[in-house]
Amino acid sequence: MRKRRLGWLLGGLLLLGLAGCQAKSATMTPPTQSPKSFVTTTTNHTARDQQRQRQVATFVQSKLSSQQGIYTNYLDTATRKTGTATGHELLSESAGMWLLYLAQQRRFKAFRTFYQATVTTFGDHGQFSYRYDPRSKKRFAVNATLDDLRIIRALNVYDALSGTHRYRQTAADHFAALKEGVLKKGRVYDYYDPATKTAAKTSSLAYLDFKTLRFYERGTKAGRAAYREQLKVVNGGYLGDVFPLYAASFNWQTLAYATKNLNTSEALETLLHLAEIGQLRAASKGWLRQQVRHHQLYNGYTTAGSASDLGQSAANYALAAMIFATIGDRANYHRAMAWVWQDQVTQASPLKGGLGDAKTRQSYSYTNLTALNAAGY
């Protein structure tokens, strides 16, 4: 499973209560083009994948869900960690992934209910706090840009599949709020604190959801220029054909790419975003095929290509499956999904139907939700 990546947010960040201001501070005219490009139209999944997908959805809804959001883990924790969400803490990341599933499945009423809960739990000045602890009723002051973009994408999927304009303006206003904080002159900062009006100094390359960025930026000359700069930042982080992944982030103060080890989930998010706009390199495709074929898609790598974490995760294979589906590689989509389902609990257990460890009863929302959405490709 992927550990939540926002430990760098914490040194001295203010926690906000739910009584905080919810008002949007920005607005923009929605794009004129249809949002249908956000809809997953591939049909690589089998009837068996769909059956397993329904089982995961039932588990998520019955064992990981509350009226406020999706639990990070099936098991709660007695104590909280400063840098990582645990137990029954809630993440806007999980909210966006569940919203994408509900929209794709045309569960429109459930979508509307859950989106409103998401706004209530995480909404702050038009963006979404990345983390909320229902035990202490505390909400972290900053967002995580990728998670906001995912929620915006889900709103567009709803409108595309429902044939309505219900969320067209709402989604545009959320994007406008991002432009007030994290989207500046072609830079996509990791987070923004609307209370202190300060942004991160880094751009995680995984956060650049090009399909969503392009949808809102291609309508103006300034937007198109920003998009070109965003693409340039990611392309500049390419590590080379020998190890064809991308650096984790770019620092705008030092103007340098990070040399730290790669979290494979984030590295694959970067590849997926490139695949969605037809810019995934042949070397990256070949590397991913080899790792999946040999069941060697490890959880972490050095920038030189050596495995730094020999663990493996169903979530990473699910991300690989999405990439394969996006580039039209049906055989490797099925190969990756086969590894995903190896982690599904089928025996009598509180986790039955979900992905996790039946012995320890550890089951993470990120793994379940990534698999859930991959099974729809």
The tokens for 46 are 């089998």
Q: What is the mean pLDDT of residues 101-126?
A: 98
Q: What is the mean pLDDT of residues 85-100?
A: 98
Is residue 25 within 8 Å of residue 194, measured between CB atoms? yes
Cα dihedral sign, 69-72-76-82: negative
Percent of the chain past pLDDT 90, that is, above it, reads 93
Binned at pLDDT 50, 70 and 90, residue 141 comes out as: very high
pLDDT tens, position by position, 144-168: 999 999 999 999 999 999 999 999 9
pLDDT at 87 exceeding the cut of 70: yes
Lowest-pLDDT range, 57-61, 81-85, 327-331, 359-363?
Answer: 81-85
> Across all residues in the chain, what is the average pLDDT?
94
pLDDT at 10 exceeding the cut of 60: no
DSSP-derived secondary structure letter, 254: T
pLDDT tens, position by position, 15-27: 433 333 344 469 9
The tokens for 2 are 């992927």
The per-residue pLDDT for 156 is: 98
Determine phi and psi for 309, rounding to 5 degrees. -145, 110
Q: From the centroid of its chain, how far is CA 329? A: 22
* Alpha-helical segments (H) within 78-144: 92-104, 108-122
The per-residue pLDDT for 25 is: 65
Lowest-pLDDT range, 20-24, 132-136, 137-141, 199-203?
Answer: 20-24
pLDDT tens, position by position, 223-263: 999 999 999 999 999 999 999 999 999 999 999 999 999 99
Is residue 244 within 8 Å of residue 223, measured between CB atoms? no
The per-residue pLDDT for 17 is: 38
The predicted model scores a pTM of: 0.94
Angle between the 92-104 and 365-374 helix axes, to the nearest 10 degrees? 20
pLDDT tens, position by position, 33-51: 999 999 999 999 999 999 9
